[in-house]
Structure 1
Amino acid sequence: MQEPLPDGGLVRKLWLGEADAYRDHLLRLDPDSRHRRFSGAVADDVIIKHAATADDLGVVIHGFFVDGVLRGAAELRHFGDMYSRQAEAAFSIEKEWQSHGVGTALLERTLLSARNRGVKSLQMNCLADNRRMQQLAKKFEADLKFDFGSVVGELEAPRFTPLSVMREAVEDAHGMTSAWLDASSRLFKTA
């Protein structure tokens, strides 16, 4: 689907040790976006505890970065252990970058990661009034089920192939190189 990202943004996996960037992103969410991400009101300390688990086994987070700052994220978490065939995807995008293709780019990467980790069923939960999330799920042909004020979108991930594994490795290498170049150029600008 490859839509251009706004403001020269970059989508890449979060590396070990970037839980603080994830925490800061989640804390910057406006009240409505925070409510939609966590399906209700949550206190800052809950977000801080949640973000601290970003480096856990079985968790893969893709981020949308602008000028080295995390502005959107897609979190893939296995149900149970990291070898489970079922997982959940959760999305958060800061208000300024919503409705610009960021969610599509993040979901594409999340689906590839889920596929390459043997996930067969990927769930995306959202509130019944979260039309953006429902549109995103439908874009990828998710099966939507309405349940007591919330919606569960289920996507089936195809089996991984050598090509899908290679594609993820190439995207990871590109993301790492781009992040390194971005950080280097920002260092030179401040010097």
Structure 2
Amino acid sequence: MQQPITRAVAPLTGVVRLLRHSELPQFRAHLLRLDKASRRDRFNGPANDAFVAAYAERCFHDGTIVIGYVEDGEVLGAAELHERPQDREPTGEIAFSVEKRLQHRGLGGLLFARLIESARAFGYERLLVTTHPQNEAMKRLARRFNATLRFADGETLGTIDIEPVAALPARPGIGDFGNLAGAY
């Protein structure tokens, strides 16, 4: 009986962190390197290079929070948090992309966790995710983070409710400016 061949997978050696505005070229290059299927999954349909390049520019100019997986100065995965100011409660729309060679290694989960942590810190109460019905990886990932999924208008729509940041207990002397009244 033959033993199955297993391939050793090199450990992830990069970092997951907020991208700086100066890293727009690396973010754009990442999105442009996505293979056809990954690009379709990320943009919920076909997207040409000009659209992808313009999209990256918009992200860095409209206040989108972009968290990246950076390895040796290259962005190889990203999670985006786009504000939806038209919604009554603080709501963000989220999106993810991971280059093919790093998919199925837990990177999406790391990016998702960091994105939720950032959304909570910015006071978001709800996150939305939209994907096409065949994007099983995204649907599994969203469910792992307690997304409620539904199918509408040919898309899978997910909602994640975020618990607010707990208020810090008051500490005497810290931030207590009341005792300064009349001191000037």
Separation in 2, partners of 1:15, 1:42? 25
Q: Does 1:17 align with 2:29?
A: no
Alignment partner, residue 66 of structure 2: 61
Alignment partner, residue 125 of structure 1: 130
- RCO comparison, higher one (Cα < 8 Å, 6+): 1
Match of 1:103 among 99, 108, 119: 108
Q: Does 1:112 align with 2:117?
A: yes
CA offsets per residue over residues 8-62 of structure 1, 9 Å max, x none? Answer: 1211110121111110000000000001100111111111111012323531111
> For the Cα contact (< 8 Å) 1:37–1:92, is it kept in 2?
yes
* SS across alignment from 1:51: helix
CA RMSD, aligned part only?
2.0
**How far did residue 141 of structure 1 move?**
1.0
CA offsets per residue over residues 61-96 of structure 1, 9 Å max, x none? Answer: 110112221100000010137x96011000000000
* SS across alignment from 1:158: coil
Q: Does 1:51 align with 2:51?
A: no
Separation in 2, partners of 1:100, 1:27? 21
Q: Does 1:145 align with 2:178?
A: no
Alignment partner, residue 99 of structure 2: 94
What amino acid maps onto 1:144 in structure 2?
L
Separation in 2, partners of 1:39, 1:125? 8
Greater fraction helix: 1
Separation in 1, partners of 2:33, 2:160? 29
Q: Does 1:73 align with 2:74?
A: no
> For the Cα contact (< 8 Å) 1:115–1:157, is it kept in 2?
yes
Separation in 1, partners of 2:43, 2:35? 12
> For the Cα contact (< 8 Å) 1:22–1:51, is it kept in 2?
yes
Separation in 2, partners of 1:23, 1:160? 32
Q: TM-score, normalised by structure 2?
A: 0.80
Question: Percent of pairs identical after alignment?
Answer: 35
What amino acid maps onto 1:148 in structure 2?
D
What amino acid maps onto 2:57 in structure 1?
A
User: Which consecutive unaligned segments of at least 5 residues does structure 2 have?
Assistant: 1-9, 169-184
**Aligned CA distance change for structure 1 residues 6 and 31 (closer, same or farther; 3 Å):** same
Question: How many residue pairs were aligned?
Answer: 159
The structure number with the bigger radius of gyration is 2
> For the Cα contact (< 8 Å) 2:15–2:71, is it kept in 1?
yes
CA offsets per residue over residues 115-152 of structure 1, 9 Å max, x none? Answer: 11111110011110000000001111110011133111
Separation in 2, partners of 1:112, 1:86? 14
